[in-house]
Amino acid sequence: MKKFIRFSAYCLLPTAYCFFSSCSNDNNKDKTETKILTHQDSIPTAPKFNEDSAYSFVKAQVDFGPRIPGTPAHAKCSDYLFAKLKSYGWEVQMQNGNIETYDGKKFNLKNIIASYKSENPNRILLFSHWDSRPFADQDKIDPNKPFDSADDGPSGVGVILEIARQLNLKQPNVGIDILFDDLEDYGKEHDNDADTWGLGAQYWAKNPHKPGYAAQYGILLDMVGARGATFPREGESNEYASYVVKKIWNKAAHLGYSNYFVFQDAGSITDDHVYIIRDANIPCVDIVNMNAQTGQFGAHHHAHSDNMSVIDKNTLKAVGQTILEVVWDEQKLKI
Ligand SMILES: [Zn+2]
């Protein structure tokens, strides 16, 4: 990841999609207002997100070494993520595909997909990329060498793994799918063709694990573990999933996390969510650490300093508890 694009590259999506988006907004708002008031007492409280556990999931990925596609570390980490999700009782599948990157290299894609209550039509999609960029090209020192990439990839995956673990212990009546997508971070910097990024998400959006797959909305976590992170409301998310943005940022404020989930609007970025919005017609929100004014990511972005020293359990907790409760609350709409 990724590229800052001040103006949306996908503002010309079909009108029907925009209509769908705004309809979802209105419907959901109505449901929220009427049904939560009636049924909220019958829902047990949401589980407590364990930041120590999430941290250990981040570290376990980093300990494999850089998860660069085609390397043994990449293969071992995919096995680890698959086994972890399975151990928490989720239905897990590996999606493979042949992918060619911008530099002509060919890889066997590994998208890891897990489903909870797959029969429930009321579904939420949680996703994060799990591969690491092959080089620290934003670093002045050794820009061609690999780096640990602890925040970029593992933090989002670690938070989602902990959510998966909690939802196995205390099970809500809502369908959830997890997508750990591969080959997000192999894109070409300074290239006008943004589609060199997010190859795993692009593949899944065109070839979902279930034909005709639909979700109410999706939440992308990307670089969600750094100390002092700020998550402004990203442009594509505001444009295509404003009602979900509102839910998440209001929940974070309610929990006391407005220092992370800042009430500021940022420009649009190219990240996995744009492909899932565009090709799978699922409204998505990107929670990503960036500066709303400059559009810059953290100083450790694609640099050797992106290692475990930047990861802060408080940030993992803020993101994890917020998302866990947003997902948990979806039960209230369907009783
Ligand atoms: Zn990246």
Q: List the chain pLDDT tens, one digit each, 335 residues.
A: 555 554 333 322 322 232 223 333 334 434 444 344 444 456 779 999 999 999 999 999 999 999 999 999 999 999 999 999 999 999 999 999 999 999 999 999 999 999 999 999 999 999 999 999 999 999 999 999 999 999 999 999 999 999 999 999 999 999 999 999 999 999 988 766 778 999 999 999 999 999 999 999 999 999 999 999 999 999 999 999 999 999 999 999 999 999 999 999 999 999 999 999 999 999 999 999 999 999 999 999 999 999 999 999 999 999 999 999 999 999 875 54
Distance 66 CA to ligand 1 centre (A): 12
Q: How many CB atoms lie within 10 A of CB 74?
A: 22
Distance 176 CA to ligand 1 centre (A): 25
Distance 23 CA to ligand 1 centre (A): 33
Distance 1 CA to ligand 1 centre (A): 3
Distance 286 CA to ligand 1 centre (A): 14
Distance 329 CA to ligand 1 centre (A): 31
Residues with CB under 5 A from ligand 1 (ion): 1, 152, 185
For the chain, give every domain's residue range: 3-333
User: What is the per-residue pLDDT for 27?
Assistant: 41
User: What is the per-residue pLDDT for 332?
Assistant: 74
Q: What is the pLDDT of residues 89-138, one digit of tens each?
A: 999 999 999 999 999 999 999 999 999 999 999 999 999 999 999 999 99
Question: Per DSSP, which regions of 117-252 are E strands?
Answer: 123-129, 175-181, 217-222
Distance in angstroms (rounded) separating the CA atoms of residues 276 and 264: 24
Distance 2 CA to ligand 1 centre (A): 6
Q: Parallel, antiparallel, or unpaired for β 217-222 and 284-288?
A: parallel
Distance 30 CA to ligand 1 centre (A): 38
CA 270, 73, 50, 305 dihedral sign is negative
Reading the block at residue 91, the tokens are 């239905």
CATH topology of domain 3-333: Aminopeptidase (3.40.630)
User: What is the per-residue pLDDT for 189?
Assistant: 84
